[in-house]
Structure 1
Amino acid sequence: MIIKNKTILITGGGSGIGLEAAKQFLQLGAKVIITGRNQEKLNNAKKTYPGLTVIKSDAANAEDAITLFKQIKELGGIDILYHNAGVLSPVLNLGITDDKHAESAAYEMEVNYLGVIRLNNLFMEMLQSRREGAIINTTSLLRYVPSIVEATYSASKAALGFYTQSLRKHLQILNSRVKVFELLPPLVATEMTAERTDKKLTTEQFVKEFIDALKKDQYTIRIGDTKVVYLLNRFFPKFAYGLVNPKKSYKLLQ
C-alpha cells in the first residue's frame, strides 16, 4: 500500500491512536481528514497539525454519516477509510437485570460495528473508483478471547472481525481493487485505557508498526500482545483465557 499522496479519512481522530496516526500519515505525505464528536479535541488537533482537515461527526449517528459522506465528496473524496472510532463500556454485573447494561451494549454495537458498516456502504463506490483504495477496520485482541469485564465490547469486536473477513473475501471475488485490512491493537496507552495498570504500548510505537504492516499489504495486522494471544488461543485456549482474564478480574465481579 502506497501512503504518499493518498487521502485518508480517520474516524475518532481527535486524540489517542487516531491523532497519532494522523500525524504519522501526514509525515509520509498523505492528506488526512479526521472526524470525531468532540469539537474541542478537533480544534486542538488542527492547531497542533495545521495540515489536517477536521469534520465533526458522530460514528453512532446515521444522519452524521450521510452528511460526512457529502462533505468528503465535495472535498474530492478519499482513498483510505480508517475506522478508528470506538467505545468501551465495562459492565461488571452481566447476570443482573440492568437497563443501563443493555443501553451500553447497544451503543458499543452502534459505534464499533454498525457505524463501520454504514460508512463502508456509503464510501464503497468512491473507494472502488480509486487506483488503490482501502478500508481499515479496527478490532481488538478481545475479538479472539473475550474479557469477562468487557464482555459486550469483546462481542462488538468479534462481530466486526467476522464482518471484516467476509467483506475482504467478497470484494476479492468481485475483483475489487479495494483492500480490506483488520487492525488488532493490544492494550495501548490512550484515554480509554487510562485506568488500566497492565503493560501498554505507546501510541507512537503502535502506529509505526501498523503503518509498516499497511505498506506491506499485511491484511491482518496483529501488533504486540495480540500476536501472542492469537497463537496461544489456537493451541492453548484455556491458558490464553487466563491471560486475558486474570484472577484480579474475578474480584471485580464480587
Structure 2
Amino acid sequence: MNLKGKIVLITGGASGIGLEATKQFLEIGARVIITGRNQDKLDAVKQTMPSVTVIKSDVEKEEDAYALFTQVTALGGIDILYHNAGVGSPALNLGITNDQILENAVYEMKVNYFGVIRLNNLFMDMLKSRNQAAIIITTSILSLVPALEEPTYSASKVALSFYTKLLRKNLEILGSGLKVFELLPPLVATEMTAKRNDKKITTHDLVKALLSGIKNDQLTIRVGDTKIIYVLSRLFPGLAFNLVNPKKIYAQLR
C-alpha cells in the first residue's frame, strides 16, 4: 500500500506511539490529523509540526466521536483511520478494591474496544469509498497471552483482536477493498510503562515496523517479542504464559 499523499487520522496522537507515528507518517509524505484529550499536548504538536491538524477528542465519549466525524468530513475526509489511543490499569495489584477493578475494566472496554467500533462505524462508508484506504487497529502481545498484572486490559485486547479479524473477513466477503491492519506491539517504552523494568521496544522501532508492514500489505503486524510469543503460544502455551508472567510477578500479587 502506497502511503504517500494519504490522509491519516491518528487517535491519541499527541504523545507516545501516536506522536512517533505522526512524525513518521509526515516523513513519508502523508497528511496527518491527530486527536487527544489534552489540549496543551495537541498545541505542542502543532507548534513543532505546523502541517498537522489537531482536534481535541476523547475516544471514550460518544459526543466527541460524532463531533470528530463532522470536523473530519468538513476537512475533506481521510484515507486511513489509525486506532492508537488506549488505556490500561493494573487491576490486580495490591490496594485495588473489587469496585475499582470493575470500574477500571469498564473504562478499558469503553476506550480500547467500544471506542474503536464506534469510530469505525462512523467512518466506514467514507473509508470504503476511498481508493487504497485502511483501518489500523492496535491490539497487543497480551491478546495472545494474558498478563497477571493486567487481566482486564488483556481481555479488552483479546476482544479487540477478535473483532479486528472478523471485521477484515466481513469486508472481504462484501468485496470491499478496504484493508484492516492489526498491529501487535510488545511492551513499548512510553510514559505509561516508564516505571517498568522489563524489556521494551522503542516507539521509533515499533512505528517503523508498522509502516513497513502496511507498505507490504502485511495485514497482521507482529513486532519484536510478539513474533516469538505468537509461535510459542500455539506450540507451547505454558512456556509462553511463563515468559509473559515471570515468577517475580507472583510475589507482587501475594
Give the AA of the match of 1:40. Answer: D
Listed one character per residue, the Cα deviations across residues 132-188 of structure 1 (whole Å, up to 9, x for unaligned) are 110000000000100011000000000000000000000000011210010000111
What's the offset of the Cα at 1:248? Answer: 1.1
Quick one: which amino acid aligns to residue 28 of structure 2? L
Give me the identity figure in percent. 65
Counterpart contact for 1:4–1:29, Cα < 8 Å = yes
| Residue in 1 that maps onto 2:176 | 176
Q: CA deviation at 1:45?
A: 1.0
Post-superposition, which runs of at least 4 consecutive aligned residues in structure 1 deviate over 4 A?
Answer: none
Indicate the SS of the match to 1:201: coil
Q: How many angstroms does 1:93 deviate by?
A: 5.4
1:97-112 equivalences under 5 Å are 98-112=98-112
Query: For 1:26-80, what per-residue CA distance to the aligned partner results, in whole angstroms no more than 9, with x for missing partners?
Result: 0111000000101111111111211110000001001100000000000000000
Cα RMSD after superposing both structures: 1.1
Decide whether the 8 Å contact of 1:91 with 1:149 is kept in 2: yes
| Alignment check: 8 A CA contact 2:92 2:101 kept | no
**Residue equivalent to 2:149:** 149
| CA offsets 1:194-219 (integer angstroms, 9 cap, x no match) | 11101111111111111011100100
Say if 2:181 and 2:218, in contact at 8 Å, map to a contact too.
yes
1:65 aligns to what? 65
SS in 2 for 1:108: helix
Aligned length in residues: 253
Q: Which secondary structure state, in structure 1, belongs to the residue aligned with residue 54 of structure 2?
A: strand
Q: Is 1:129 aligned with 2:138? A: no
The aligned counterpart of 2:246 is 246
Q: Structure 2 matches for 1:9-158, cutoff 5 A?
A: 9-92=9-92, 98-158=98-158
- Which structure 1 segments of 5+ residues have no match? none
Quote the Cα distance in structure 1 between the aligned partners of 2:231 and 2:19.
30
Match of 2:215 in 1: 215
1:97 Cα deviation (Å)? 6.0
> What TM-score does the superposition give when structure 1 sets the normalisation length?
0.98
Instruction: Structure 2: give runs of 5+ residues left out of the alignment.
Output: none
Quick one: which amino acid aligns to residue 28 of structure 1?
Answer: I
